[in-house]
């Protein structure tokens, strides 16, 4: 009996060591991929294409695709939102500038680009894995799900864009803004 318990403990220890080694190697490659934004997003596009081809090929798993779409929409909102919401934290002083005379504060995302990319990639990989379980292929009329998702997307983006306009922030870095005066161009009256 003791030998059996010893084998179990040995197996658990070797499994824990393998998990630790795998986690370390995975984190190493994840860290090395951080500066390669275009390549990372290209890989995610490939993963998404493989997923969509799988769904198209099996003609099913529309509920999983709908759940994936809702999750990606949620991530997109986090990516486009400021870390400090001016509506909720207006009294704090750590809010975005709302007037031209306010001090410039850089836009800090609630969900950084790397975490946004990593979460979307994981979502497509998990959704792809779920397509191999036939019990998850719930029969549903997919055009209704698509129309409902488009409806949610439009309403959510409308609200987000109105929030961006109200608090005058742009979640994308377009480079340094240059005024016409600093370029030496005179305004024609």
pLDDT, tens only, 137-189: 999 999 999 999 999 999 999 999 888 888 777 777 666 655 444 545 554 44
Cα-Cα-Cα-Cα dihedral sign, residues 54, 57, 58, 64: positive
Res 97: pLDDT: 56
The token duo for 54 is 């799988």
- Express the helix, strand and coil content of the chain in percent, nearest 5 each: 65, 0, 35
Give 65: exposed, middle or buried? Use CB within 10 Å, 0-12, 13-18, 19+: buried
Distances (CA, A) of 142 to 56, 97, 100, 134, 167: 12, 44, 47, 17, 37
Which residue from 46, 36, 74, 61 is spatially nearest to 142, judged by alpha carbons? 61
Res 189: pLDDT: 44
Which residue from 124, 135, 117 is spatially nearest to 50, judged by alpha carbons? 124
Q: Is the pTM of this model over 0.85?
A: no
Look up residue 14 and give its DSSP letter: H
Q: Residue 90 CA to chain centroid, in angstroms?
A: 26
Which residue from 168, 76, 166 is spatially nearest to 113, judged by alpha carbons? 76
> Regarding predicted confidence, which is higher, 180 or 96?
96
> Regarding predicted confidence, which is higher, 23 or 88?
23
Tell me the average pLDDT across 82-88.
77
Tell me the average pLDDT across 125-133.
96
Tell me the average pLDDT across 49-68.
95
């Amino acid at each position: 009996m003791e030998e059996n318990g010893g084998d179990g403990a040995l197996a658990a220890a070797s499994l824990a060591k393998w998990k630790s080694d795998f986690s370390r190697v995975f984190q190493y490659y994840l860290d090395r991929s951080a500066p390669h934004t275009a390549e990372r997003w290209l890989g995610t596009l490939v993963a998404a294409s493989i997923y969509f081809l799988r769904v198209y090929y099996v003609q099913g798993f529309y509920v999983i695709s709908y759940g994936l779409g809702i999750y990606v929409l949620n991530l997109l909102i986090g990516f486009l939102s400021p870390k400090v919401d001016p509506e909720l934290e207006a009294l704090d002083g750590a809010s975005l500038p709302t007037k031209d005379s306010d001090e410039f504060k850089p836009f800090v995302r609630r969900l950084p680009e790397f975490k946004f990319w990593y979460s979307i990639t994981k979502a497509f990989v998990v959704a792809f894995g779920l397509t191999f379980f036939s019990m998850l292929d719930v029969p549903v009329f997919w055009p209704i799900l698509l129309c409902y998702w488009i409806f949610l997307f439009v309403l959510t983006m409308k609200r987000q864009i109105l929030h961006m306009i109200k608090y005058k922030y742009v979640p994308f870095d377009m480079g340094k803004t240059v005024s016409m005066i600093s370029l030496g161009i005179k305004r024609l009256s």
